[in-house]
Amino acid sequence: MTQTRIVEVRAGVLKKNDELARGLRTRFESAGAFVVNLVSSPGAGKTQLLERTLGELAAAGHRCAALVGDLETDNDARRLARSGVPVQQINTHGRCHLEADVIGEFVGAWDLANLDYLFIENVGNLVCPASYDLGEALRVALLSVTEGEDKPQKYPTMFNSADVALITKIDLAEACEFDRSAAHGAIHEVRPGMTILEVSARRGTGMSAWLDLLVARRDAWRNRS
């Protein structure tokens, strides 16, 4: 087993995924469904953010749905279902990321034309999900204040492939001695000019700016030439 052989197989998998993702993107665009792919470490707070986001967008009249990926358990789908929007759990059974083929299978259960927003909560992993396009319109990388300010430098591909960085659990910043300026600096070193928002889904801090961003990005996407 040579390293060259492994790299070739991996390149083949990525190429196939890219082709499937292009097809998905066309489907999402035709249907008018704005797809957001949430990526982060395990435990950065994707589910808590999404639970609150789905509830608030639905309350404002937006039609939402969510796909949530985990190796095992349907804990997250059950949490998200409390928001009242349609949710499906994807169990990857050992695979460390979601791929376009499985997204294609699961969205087949829904009429995409009835959705304004489709959120995909990826498997918690700061490495592999970066390489797999899911046909999303917006990729959001979460970084919690408890993780260490230099994570963007250690995992540059994830932050470089994302459109927006969301610093989560901001209510714990003081308890963690979080260095805000170092974290923003690390993100901008990897991706100069990247939009950074700070939120606490538990306390509600920063949620309105996050929701405004989602609405503005969807509007811009719908009016693209």
Phi, psi (deg, nearest 5) at residue 161: -90, -5
123, 99 Cβ separation under 8 angstroms: no
User: Could you give phi then psi for residue 198, rounded to 5 degrees?
Assistant: -120, 130
- 13 near a second copy (CB under 8 A): yes
Whether 110 and 65 have beta carbons less than 8 Å apart is answered as: yes
DSSP H or E stretch at residue 13: helix 3-31
Q: How many residues does the chain have?
A: 225
**Closer Cβ to a second copy, 157 or 195, answer by number:** 157
Question: Residues binding a second copy: what is the number (CB under 8 A)?
Answer: 39
Q: Is 7 in the site for a second copy (CB under 8 A)?
A: no
Nearest approach, Cβ of 123 to a second copy (angstroms)?
Answer: 7
Tokens of 98: 């979601």
Q: What is the DSSP letter of 128?
A: G
- Least distance in Å: CB of 154 to a second copy? 5
Q: Of the listed pieces 69-77, 107-115, 192-200, 213-221, which binds a second copy according to CB under 8 A? A: 69-77
What is the signed CA dihedral for 73, 79, 83, 89, rounded to 10 degrees?
-10
Q: Which is nearer to a second copy, 172 or 197 (CB)?
A: 172
Q: Measuring CA to CA, which residue among 198, 220, 206, 223 is closest to residue 56?
A: 206
Minimum Å gap between C-beta 76 and a second copy is 8
Is the CB of 26 or the CB of 75 nearer to a second copy?
75
Binding-site member from 35, 36, 52, 70 for a second copy (CB under 8 A)? 70
Helix (H, G, I), strand (E, B) or coil at 118: strand
Give the x/- contact pattern for a second copy in 92-111, rule: CB under 8 A: --x-x---------------
Exactly one of 71, 194, 197, 213 binds a second copy (CB under 8 A); which one?
Answer: 71
- Site residues (CB under 8 A) for a second copy, limited to 136-195: 144, 146-148, 150-151, 153-157, 169, 172, 175-176
CA–CA dist 83, 47 (Å, integer): 11
Closest C-alpha to 218, from 155, 106, 162, 138 = 138
Contact residues: a second copy, CB under 8 A: 1, 5-6, 9, 12-13, 16, 41-43, 47, 70-73, 75, 94, 96, 123-128, 144, 146-148, 150-151, 153-157, 169, 172, 175-176
